[in-house]
């Protein structure tokens, strides 16, 4: 994987274009790296307008993509904008020649428009994932991962996840040492654990309606997450039978009572890990898990990383 093609056209994000250049530009003076050749490809002879009012004239035409060892598609500013059919044809031709293709962030919309993601698992920025799934129902959209691929087609989530994918591609083709050298030069981690869930804003529970018994239950629970709540106890607060309570609660919130409770406990743990220096064991008790041992699997399943790793990411410290 020595010849890398970067596809550019009007509306490509300047940041993603710069990431590709930073990772794949020739660094023959650095030990442990092969001599990459980065080819900037686009509509022949056209001055491309990148995001951020930048412009660039491609060094190669679209046909050069099929001659590369890898093709990278940066994210685009507007996923709703129509894509030039010539660009889509060039991607299809490169894929037909067996060239691996990877997209960054909203570049997944370009691959999807070319039909290259049909029947495949793919990702993009979590905020754009529902739109990608709606417009391209044949694509298995996973909004949780930082990047995903099958060796032929790769996609990544937003911004920094594009760096993760590029480093992964270097690591896969040229080994850990090569990826580590590039990561060190970029002052970034050669590998990040977890997925996008740790970066998605936590929803704020709605305030209680004075006449809504279910809202009163939610308010009481959020004020005392450390209590060992059961469906029977929650139903008693609402003055309902367990069956009626569970049915009405699920209809109102979209989730069964105990699953909602677990979600709120994890969200509370996230906030305490971000905002306090409390030991993880104490956070676990306050949030109703009893101990760090019980907190860890529930937290990791939802967020994608363990509590201490989450704290390091958002607080820059190890935490208790």
pLDDT of 270 reads 87
* Mean per-residue pLDDT, 159-176: 85
Examine residue 175 and state whether it is found in any structural domain, yes or no: yes
Look at 205 and 45; give whichever has higher pLDDT.
45
DSSP state of 106: T
45 and 171 belong to one structural domain: yes
pLDDT of 318 reads 46
Q: Which residue, among 301, 305, 306, 258, has the nearest Cα to 280 in the 3D structure?
A: 306
Q: How many CB atoms lie within 10 A of CB 94?
A: 26
Report the domain count for the chain.
2
Q: Which domain holds residue 150?
A: 3-197
* Mean per-residue pLDDT, 195-207: 55
Residues 6 or more apart whose Cβ sits within 8 Å of residue 59:
39, 40, 41
CA-based diameter of the chain, in Å? 73
pLDDT of 184 reads 81
190 and 273 belong to one structural domain: no
Per residue in 178-206, is it b (16+ CB within 10 Å) or e — as a string? bbbbbbeeeebebebebbbbbbeeeeebe
158 and 245 belong to one structural domain: no
134 and 253 belong to one structural domain: no
121, β-bridge pairs = 140
Residue 81, token pair as written in the block? 């904008």
125 and 240 belong to one structural domain: no
Rounded distance, CA 296 to CA 98, Å?
42
**For the segment 220-247, what is each residue's pLDDT rounded down to a tens digit?**
999 999 999 999 999 999 999 999 999 9
Look at 192 and 169; give whichever has higher pLDDT.
169
Examine residue 206 and state whether it is found in any structural domain, yes or no: no
178 and 250 belong to one structural domain: no
Examine residue 288 and state whether it is found in any structural domain, yes or no: yes
Residue 178, token pair as written in the block? 């090569």
131 and 189 belong to one structural domain: yes
Confidence of residue 197 (pLDDT cuts 50, 70, 90): low
Q: Which residue, among 202, 205, 227, has the nearest Cα to 216 in the 3D structure?
A: 205
pLDDT of 188 reads 78
Q: How many CB atoms lie within 10 A of CB 6?
A: 27
**For the segment 36-91, what is each residue's pLDDT rounded down to a tens digit?**
899 999 998 789 999 878 899 999 999 999 999 999 999 999 999 999 999 999 99
Examine residue 203 and state whether it is found in any structural domain, yes or no: no
pLDDT of 32 reads 63
What share of the chain has pLDDT > 90, as a percent?
A: 57
Rounded distance, CA 311 to CA 275, Å?
9
Average pLDDT, the chain: 87
Examine residue 202 and state whether it is found in any structural domain, yes or no: no
Is pLDDT of 319 > 70? no
18 and 138 belong to one structural domain: yes
- Helix 160-174 with 176-186: angle, nearest 10 deg: 150
pLDDT of 246 reads 93
Examine residue 208 and state whether it is found in any structural domain, yes or no: no
Is pLDDT of 189 > 80? no
Q: What CATH number does the domain containing 57 carry?
A: 3.40.50.880
Do 93 and 144 form a contact (C-beta atoms < 8 A)?
Answer: no
Examine residue 225 and state whether it is found in any structural domain, yes or no: yes
189 and 129 belong to one structural domain: yes
pLDDT of 196 reads 67
Confidence of residue 293 (pLDDT cuts 50, 70, 90): very high
* Mean per-residue pLDDT, 269-278: 88
264 and 294 belong to one structural domain: yes
Residues 6 or more apart whose Cβ sits within 8 Å of residue 265:
225, 287, 288, 289, 298
Work out whether strand 48-50 and strand 54-56 pair parallel, antiparallel, or are unpaired.
antiparallel
pLDDT of 241 reads 95
Look at 107 and 174; give whichever has higher pLDDT.
107
pLDDT of 230 reads 95
Find the range with the poorest average confidence among 62-76, 113-127, 155-169, 209-223. Answer: 209-223
Examine residue 320 and state whether it is found in any structural domain, yes or no: no
Is pLDDT of 208 > 60? no
Q: Which of 119-133, 161-175, 212-226 has the highest mean pLDDT?
A: 119-133
284 and 308 belong to one structural domain: yes
Q: What CATH number does the domain containing 277 carry?
A: 1.10.10.60
């Amino acid at each position: 994987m020595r010849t890398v093609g970067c596809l550019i056209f009007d509306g490509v994000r300047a940041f993603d274009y710069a990431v590709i250049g930073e990772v794949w530009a020739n660094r023959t003076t650095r030990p442990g790296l092969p001599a990459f050749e980065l080819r900037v490809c686009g509509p022949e002879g056209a001055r491309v307008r990148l995001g951020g009012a930048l412009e660039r004239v491609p060094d190669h035409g679209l046909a050069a993509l099929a001659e590369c060892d890898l093709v990278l598609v940066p994210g685009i500013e507007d996923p709703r904008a129509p894509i030039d059919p010539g660009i889509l044809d060039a991607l299809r031709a490169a894929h037909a020649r067996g060239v691996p293709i990877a997209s960054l962030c909203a570049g997944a919309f370009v691959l999807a428009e070319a039909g290259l993601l049909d029947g495949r698992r793919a990702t993009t920025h979590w905020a754009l994932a529902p739109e990608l799934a709606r417009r391209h129902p044949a694509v298995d959209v996973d909004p949780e991962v930082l990047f995903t691929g099958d060796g032929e087609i790769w996609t990544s989530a937003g911004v920094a996840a594009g760096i993760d994918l590029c480093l992964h591609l270097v690591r896969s083709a040229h080994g850990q040492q090569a990826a580590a050298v590039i990561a060190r030069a970029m002052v970034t981690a050669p590998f990040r654990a977890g997925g996008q869930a740790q970066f998605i804003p936590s929803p704020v529970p709605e305030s209680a309606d004075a006449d809504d018994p279910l809202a009163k239950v939610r308010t009481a629970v959020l004020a005392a997450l450390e209590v060992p709540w059961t469906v029977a106890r929650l139903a008693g607060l609402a003055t309902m039978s367990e069956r009626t309570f569970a049915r009405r609660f699920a209809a109102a919130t979209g989730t069964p009572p105990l699953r909602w409770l677990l979600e709120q406990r994890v969200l509370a743990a996230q906030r305490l890990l971000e905002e306090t220096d409390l030991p993880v064991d104490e956070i676990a008790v306050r949030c109703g898990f009893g101990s760090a041992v019980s907190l860890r699997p529930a937290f990791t399943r939802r967020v994608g990383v363990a509590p201490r790793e989450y704290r390091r990411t958002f607080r820059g410290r190890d935490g208790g």
